């Protein structure tokens, strides 16, 4: 029997509370005892190289996947102990901006933003129209409401996806690599939107990214993860001045450091002197 009222001892300042998280995919360890708190009303960044499990964390928080052990709580409720109905209700309080945008290609921009309202509410179409236009205005694309996704640039598609993510007025939005593949202008627009929407709407935001400069520029708090562990965490200035050699290599894009340029092997000279070449 699931317990939809299960609570945690997290403080009221944390909307998401992760403790001693362990998660594996097959024989590969993704998380090995991770602790993370997502503060209400703030932008928290989860940073690290590709393949370190940043998107996996979003799936665990939203209940798409279940941790092998540890605690994942959203607003005091244990995500893995919710019934299907309880999890569905909690997900209505979460918005998601997928890395690809994930717009429905057969629907117009207007209908993409209207989709969650039609699916999850009983609002009349007239009110849905007002909400859709309001959300599109917030991302600067009210004039593009009749366009098809194929007619949008990459940056415009990402902004439409953001309008759809806030259609139900969620308390939290999760951004999965929001800056990937964006030109400098589109990236600047997205940066401003994430910061402005978070502040104006009182949202809690989780930004998953490996774009160092952009992410540190808008985040209130940052976690840097690698090899299943939190390498360092703190405000952006703390991360920029981190004493961790690994973090410094990551944020300065150094080719060599704790993460070596060369894949581990025998000495090069020994390899050259081998008679059979293998």
Q: Tell me: the pLDDT tens digits for 136-176?
A: 998 989 999 999 999 998 888 988 999 999 999 999 999 99
Domain-located, residue 235: yes
Domain-located, residue 153: no
pLDDT at 220 exceeding the cut of 90: yes
What residues contact residue 187 under an 8 Å CB cut-off, 6+ apart?
Answer: 155, 179, 214
Domain-located, residue 165: no
Boundaries of domain holding 174: 14-93+170-273
More confidently predicted of 220 and 263: 220
Taking residues 245-249, report their average pLDDT.
90
Domain-located, residue 237: yes
Domain-located, residue 132: no
Bridge partner residues of 45 (DSSP) = 207, 222
User: pTM score, two decimals?
Assistant: 0.84
How far, in Å, CA of 131 to CA of 168, rounded? 9
Domain-located, residue 130: no
Domain-located, residue 110: no
Q: Scanning the structure block, which residue is given the tokens 């090899």? A: 227
Q: What percent of the chain has pLDDT over 70?
A: 92
CB atoms within 10 A of CB 169: 12
Q: What is the dihedral of CA 175, 53, 65, 198, to 10 degrees?
A: -20
Element housing 92 (H / E)? none
Count: domains in the chain: 1
Q: Out of 110-124, 186-200, 252-266, give the one with best mean pLDDT.
A: 110-124
How far, in Å, CA of 176 to CA of 208, rounded? 5
pLDDT at 261 exceeding the cut of 80: no
Q: Tell me: the pLDDT tens digits for 105-134?
A: 999 999 999 999 999 889 999 999 999 999
Domain-located, residue 87: yes
Q: Tell me: the pLDDT tens digits for 20-69?
A: 999 999 889 999 999 999 999 999 999 988 888 899 999 999 999 999 99
pLDDT of residue 3: 47
pLDDT of residue 7: 41
Identify the CATH number of the domain in which residue 257 sits: 3.40.50.300
């Amino acid at each position: 029997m699931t317990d939809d009222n299960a609570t945690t001892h997290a403080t009221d300042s944390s909307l998401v509370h992760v403790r001693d998280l362990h998660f594996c995919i097959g024989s590969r360890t993704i998380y090995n005892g991770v602790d993370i708190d997502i503060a209400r009303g703030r932008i928290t960044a989860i940073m690290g190289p590709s393949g370190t499990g940043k998107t996996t964390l979003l799936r665990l928080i939203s209940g798409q996947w279940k941790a092998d052990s540890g605690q994942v709580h959203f607003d005091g409720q244990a995500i893995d102990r919710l019934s299907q109905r309880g999890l569905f209700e909690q997900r209505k309080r979460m918005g998601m901006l997928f890395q690809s945008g994930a717009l429905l290609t057969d629907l117009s921009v207007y209908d993409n933003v209207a989709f969650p309202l039609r699916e999850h509410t009983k609002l009349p179409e007239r009110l849905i129209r007002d909400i859709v236009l309001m959300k599109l205005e917030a991302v600067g694309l009210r004039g593009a409401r009749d366009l098809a996704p194929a007619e949008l640039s990459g940056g415009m598609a990402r902004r439409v996806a953001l309008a759809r993510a806030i259609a139900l007025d969620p308390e939290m939005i999760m951004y999965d690599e929001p800056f990937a593949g964006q030109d400098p202008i589109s990236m600047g627009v997205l940066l401003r939107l994430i910061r402005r929407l978070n502040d104006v709407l009182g949202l809690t935001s989780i930004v998953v990214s490996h774009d160092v400069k952009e992410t540190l520029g808008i985040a209130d708090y940052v976690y840097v993860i690698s090899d299943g562990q939190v390498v360092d965490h703190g405000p952006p200035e703390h991360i920029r001045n981190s004493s961790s050699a690994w973090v410094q290599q990551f944020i300065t894009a150094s080719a060599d450091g704790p993460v070596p340029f060369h894949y581990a092997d025998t000495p090069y000279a020994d390899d050259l002197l081998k008679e059979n070449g293998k």
